[in-house]
Amino acid sequence: METELRGNSNTSISLQNPSLFNNPQSSLSGALKGCLGSLDGACIEKLLLHCASALEHNDGTLAQQVMWVLNNVASLVGDPNQRLTSWFLRALISRASKVCPTAMNFDGSSTIRRRNMSVTELAVYVDLIPWHRFGFCASNSAILKAIEGYSKVHILDFSITHCMQWPTLIDALAIRPEGPPSLRITVPSCRPPVPPFLNVSCEEVGLRLSNFAKYRDVPFEFNVFDHDPSSFASSETMSQESSHDFHIESLLNHLTPTMLDLRDDEALVINCQNWLRYLSDEEKGNSVQDCSLRDAFLCTVKGFNPCIVVVVDEDSDLSAPSLSSRITTCFNFLWIPFDALETFLLKDSSQRIEYESDIGHKIENIISFEGAQRIERSESGIKLAQRMKNAGFSSVPFCVDTIGEVRSLLEEHASGWGMKREEDHMLVLTWKGHNSVFSTAWVPNGLQD
């Protein structure tokens, strides 16, 4: 278990009031049986689940007792366990303030104001660990192979990292033996309301890409797909506030060949980087027409007859209706970036704290919210592969060159990072052997070689 690994690799955390657990009348007396007055990863997970159970049963008093213990463990500048606990505690307090506000003395109403980054700062942010670059590298290599021989290429880019993937692809196209193709990139005018946030507009990002492409002699066009201009005010920045105008149903309704200006003489690429998980996986009814937004999106893009669809996302199932299930999965997954950052950044590093804060944003959404407000709904690579096959896609393998490029990328980072291949030609980024991010490539049935 991941929790056991963490418990063995870190010093146990002493409780400030271990006598609380010696009281046979205490509701917590059995919660940490065997922890012997100190907390490792397994005991912290046990406490989190105890608190979740209390909240699910509207027991504010017990929840508050557990939170008191967690508060004695948590520290934003401690070891990875303590830092991770801080964000889980914050999420539980936020949920508790909604579920049983009159029983809670904790204030769960405060929010962390997240800074909008410059493009340069975002580049540094993306390079900290290979969480994003792994997907960029594998996807770009697969795209390059898929568009061989084409003189015109159109990429529909659905991602959350503000086109940080494309300078590397433009570089590669510039040195293509047969010469660079004409490249069009189209992005939606809205994005999920999740970090990282940028302090410039989509149009400014496109202008910078255009200038870079011109410098590399790659014919280039950048388009912002404004699917519903009446649904939000003019956005000057891709900020946290403007990104709340993420209307996926409106996007799907307007996702048509005409609106996207699809052209028969172009190779069409669909790029989904950490994006599909923000499309609801809940079916609206029992008929085919009532499929989930996630399936509806895949059905729509399949109808465009793309030459390749690349899907990269976090390899974790976080869509369970049960709070306890989500806590277990989330705790045993999101320790990975906390542990990885520990290997090369100081405990009080502002870069580290900011990166972890963005992970905390994810934890809060997973734990504190329900219904349509709970937008973090990732699924494992295995489940995604089955969803793609059900939608009429076939997987395509990554070539030897791709494997080599990914391995070279990982050599730039801590030795704990690795890569493995799984079913359906899937590449998986690992940390100390544990799956973190998967990368896949697909074509509509009948188009594979």
pLDDT (0 to 100) of residue 115: 82
Residue 168 and residue 140 in contact, taking contact as beta carbons nearer than 8 Å: yes
Q: Strand, coil or helix: what is 256?
A: coil
**How many residues can be counted in the chain?**
449
Radius of gyration of the chain (CA): 23
Q: What residues does 157 pair with on adjacent strands?
A: 271
N- to C-terminal Cα distance for the chain? 40
- CB count within 10 Å of CB 405 equals 18
Task: Please give the full DSSP string across 55-92, using - where no structure is assigned.
Answer: HHTT-HHHHHHHHHHHHHH--TTS-HHHHHHHHHHHHH
Rounded to an integer, what distance in angstroms lies between the CA atom of residue 144 and that of residue 402? 10
Residue 316 and residue 438 in contact, taking contact as beta carbons nearer than 8 Å: no
Tell me the CA distances in angstroms from 93 to 60, 100, 126, 368, 380, one per residue in order: 11, 10, 30, 8, 28
Please report how the helices 41-56 and 2-9 are oriented relative to each other, as an axis angle in degrees rounded to 10: 130
Q: What residues does 271 pair with on adjacent strands?
A: 157, 310
pLDDT (0 to 100) of residue 250: 80
Peptide bond just before 196 cis, omega within 30 deg: yes
Please name the residues in contact with 420: beta carbons below 8 A apart, sequence gap of 6 or more.
Answer: 427, 428, 430
Q: Strand, coil or helix: what is 419?
A: strand
Rounded to an integer, what distance in angstroms lies between the CA atom of residue 189 and that of residue 225? 6
Q: What residues does 420 pair with on adjacent strands?
A: 428
Ranges of the chain with pLDDT below 50: 1-25, 36, 103-104, 107-110, 229-245
Q: What are 385's two structure tokens?
A: 């592969």
pLDDT (0 to 100) of residue 109: 44
Q: What residues does 311 pair with on adjacent strands?
A: 272, 440
Residue 425 and residue 308 in contact, taking contact as beta carbons nearer than 8 Å: no
Write the burial class of residue 107 (CB in 10 Å: 0-12 exposed, 13-18 middle, 19+ buried): exposed
Rounded to an integer, what distance in angstroms lies between the CA atom of residue 142 and that of residue 224? 24
pLDDT (0 to 100) of residue 400: 94
pLDDT (0 to 100) of residue 33: 58
Predicted confidence (pLDDT) per residue in 106-148, tens digit? 544 445 567 899 999 999 999 999 999 999 999 999 999 999 9
Q: What is the largest CA-CA distance in the chain?
A: 77
pLDDT (0 to 100) of residue 286: 56
Residue 307 and residue 269 in contact, taking contact as beta carbons nearer than 8 Å: yes
pTM to 2 decimal places: 0.88
Sign of the dihedral defined by the CA atoms of residues 161, 193, 373, 41, in that order: positive
Rounded to an integer, what distance in angstroms lies between the CA atom of residue 50 and that of residue 67? 10
Given the DSSP bridges, would you call strands 434-444 and 308-314 parallel, antiparallel or unpaired?
antiparallel
pLDDT (0 to 100) of residue 244: 36
Rounded to an integer, what distance in angstroms lies between the CA atom of residue 410 and that of residue 15? 38
